[in-house]
Structure 1
């Protein structure tokens, strides 16, 4: 670096800042500042012109600002009322939801939230309505199950107590030698025996029905010709038809109607249905046993022409211990479980059973899948 000179040059440019505060209502709402360099400051003689230019720029900015401010105020004046109205509706909807859910929380599940919108509040109302509907259905089912349980206990207790009382009573007479002769003794023992058989039937039926409903019963399925099976069952009822002054008529299809089923269980079904027809339809004079093919289903109908089953009783006809004649005594040899057992057997085979009744006839129809 010896004998070398380093020269530094400095160039200075005058710079002036103008700062202007924007004040409205005594408050500063903004600041405008201008930086002026030599584009305005080539000479001091131009300072007045510079000041004029600055003032003009300020006035232009001020006018633009006021215009924007007015525009913003107008927008707010339009949007704020709309927003208030919109929010008021939402608040009213939310208040209705709160009031309705408070009523629901106190146990009244029959309330429904009136949904008037499709937004989030409306969706919330729909969701609550759906949940309450499910809770209502669950509550109804629980009450029905509880009532069924209560009825079952009542009916079982009654049906067990009635034959037991008779058995104990007649055996007590025999134990105390309170009979005139051998004929009366045999009469007492016969009644006690018949009552014990009724009791055994009831217990066995109840046990079998419970196993069916718990899916703990097995089916011994084989290929069966339903027409032949019903023909054999009808033949077995000839004596009962004659005893009750009923004519049994058959109308079997020409098709064989082969099904895969447990023969003994199906015999139980149709014996119950025919016995039921004899018991409650003997005034009609006829029992018809009909079969036919419909698509891939075998259809069997047991038809009697007795008294019509009331429409209010039809939905309950297959329930345990349900009796159409509420005042009818239970000394008819049945357990009150026959139709319930028939329904469960048919459903275990993947079929269905239904009943129709009018003033002229009552039809029990069984549908089973053909193979």
Structure 2
């Protein structure tokens, strides 16, 4: 709730002087009007007779009465004077309010962006104050967003530099040994070149993922949408990972409701999402025996889950899984072959489609859940969103 403008002693004196001066001027004006009117009536006999007739009509009893035309005229004049005095004082008071608002605005403009104008004033000025506060809120929000973006860019550069420097150092080191002919046999030479080749491939994977991440983060990235069967797509993905899953003794199963489940999306980009999630399950689902790919149409959206029965993800890690370069094992090594950008890319692609993705993990099942509209551009039904998702766009 706003508070009333508190007047200073000087401002109260200003209002008092305004009222006194106005009253004096009005009394002088009233006196001049009465004198002038009396002279006009005295000079014009017909007007005097007419006024006298009105007087007789409005007079009760013998002699002058308070309801005679003179007193009625005086009372009307005093009422008009009171209205003028009130209007002048109100106008002056609103001018004082405006000065207070301008003073508050200058205070905010001096850099006190956490300050807000809390005055309760007249309707028109209150709209101006509300607009000013909304503008300040928007400006502060934009500045904070800009700072976050700047910090995000700095973190991105730092992380990329770190992840590129490690394999690059190895490449330069081994190629340096070859350049200086510090190898004892052709087998050792092949070993050095092989290590340099693997490190170069790691760098390529990182740069490819980084390029893909920056591309899908742009809201203007076009989507080549087509109509397809989501269940059939998941079955094709399961078949493509079958050999790798068998090596790890993991079974991949697919289910859909209904089947076929027709929807509209960019299949190439969604394929990248599912690839990242399945690879993530194969790589980090320790002790997993099953990977479940499920799709279900609920109202005007499709809910797709990629789940595994491996080790549970700690709760404090769930909210950070989609952050760039985040790894649950808290290691920046490339031993697992990941760049830390896969889930961030998946999140950005799902967002491009107008959906959202989050992770949920229990001792029985770890799931990545996607909510996608049946058609791109179609808003999702809020009622189908989880009540308290661990990670939601």
Structure 1 partner of 2:181: 177
Aligned partner of residue 106 in structure 2, secondary structure:
helix
Structure 2 partner of 1:112: 116
Q: Which runs of 5+ in 1 are unaligned?
A: 1-23, 41-58
Does the CA-based 8 Å contact 2:296-2:304 persist in structure 1?
yes
> What is the alpha-carbon distance in structure 2 between the residues aligned to residue 69 and residue 222 of structure 1?
86
TM-score, normalised to structure 1's length? 0.70
Change (3 A) 1:222 1:68: closer
| 1:301 aligned to which of 275, 300, 305 | 305
* 1:321-348 Cα deviation digits (max 9, x unpaired): 2415494214132233222332343444
| 1:352 aligned to which of 351, 355, 376 | 355
> What is the alpha-carbon distance in structure 2 between the residues aligned to residue 36 and residue 264 of structure 1?
101
Instruction: For residue 366 of structure 1, report the CA deviation from its aligned partner.
Output: 2.8
Does the CA-based 8 Å contact 1:351-1:366 persist in structure 2?
no
Change (3 A) 1:229 1:191: same
Change (3 A) 1:186 1:72: same
Instruction: For residue 274 of structure 1, report the CA deviation from its aligned partner.
Output: 1.2
Instruction: For residue 204 of structure 1, report the CA deviation from its aligned partner.
Output: 2.0
Structure 2 partner of 1:101: 105
Aligned partner of residue 279 in structure 1, secondary structure:
helix
Instruction: For residue 256 of structure 1, report the CA deviation from its aligned partner.
Output: 1.2
> What is the alpha-carbon distance in structure 2 between the residues aligned to residue 217 and residue 370 of structure 1?
19
Structure 1 partner of 2:233: 229
Structure 1 partner of 2:149: 145
Instruction: For residue 80 of structure 1, report the CA deviation from its aligned partner.
Output: 5.2
Change (3 A) 1:363 1:113: farther
Change (3 A) 1:249 1:132: same
Aligned partner of residue 162 in structure 1, secondary structure:
helix
> What is the alpha-carbon distance in structure 2 between the residues aligned to residue 37 and residue 95 of structure 1?
55
Instruction: For residue 150 of structure 1, report the CA deviation from its aligned partner.
Output: 1.8
| 2:369 aligned to which of 351, 355, 365 | 365
Greater helix proportion: 2
Change (3 A) 1:362 1:173: same
Q: Kindly indicate whether residue 134 of structure 2 is the aligned counterpart of residue 126 of structure 1.
A: no
Does the CA-based 8 Å contact 1:343-1:352 persist in structure 2?
no
Structure 2 partner of 1:53: none
* 1:167-206 Cα deviation digits (max 9, x unpaired): 1112222323334544443333222111111111122222
Change (3 A) 1:116 1:309: farther
Q: Which runs of 5+ in 2 are unaligned?
A: 1-26, 49-62, 376-393
Moved more, 270-279 or 111-120: 111-120
Structure 2 partner of 1:48: none
Choose 1 or 2 for highest CA Rg: 1
Moved more, 275-284 or 143-152: 275-284
Between the two proteins, the alignment pairs up a number of residues equal to 324
Structure 1 partner of 2:51: none
Change (3 A) 1:261 1:65: closer
Aligned partner of residue 137 in structure 1, secondary structure:
helix
* 1:249-290 Cα deviation digits (max 9, x unpaired): 443335111334444433221110111223333255543221
Instruction: For residue 354 of structure 1, report the CA deviation from its aligned partner.
Output: 0.7
* 1:56-91 Cα deviation digits (max 9, x unpaired): xxx97999767865786688679858975x568646
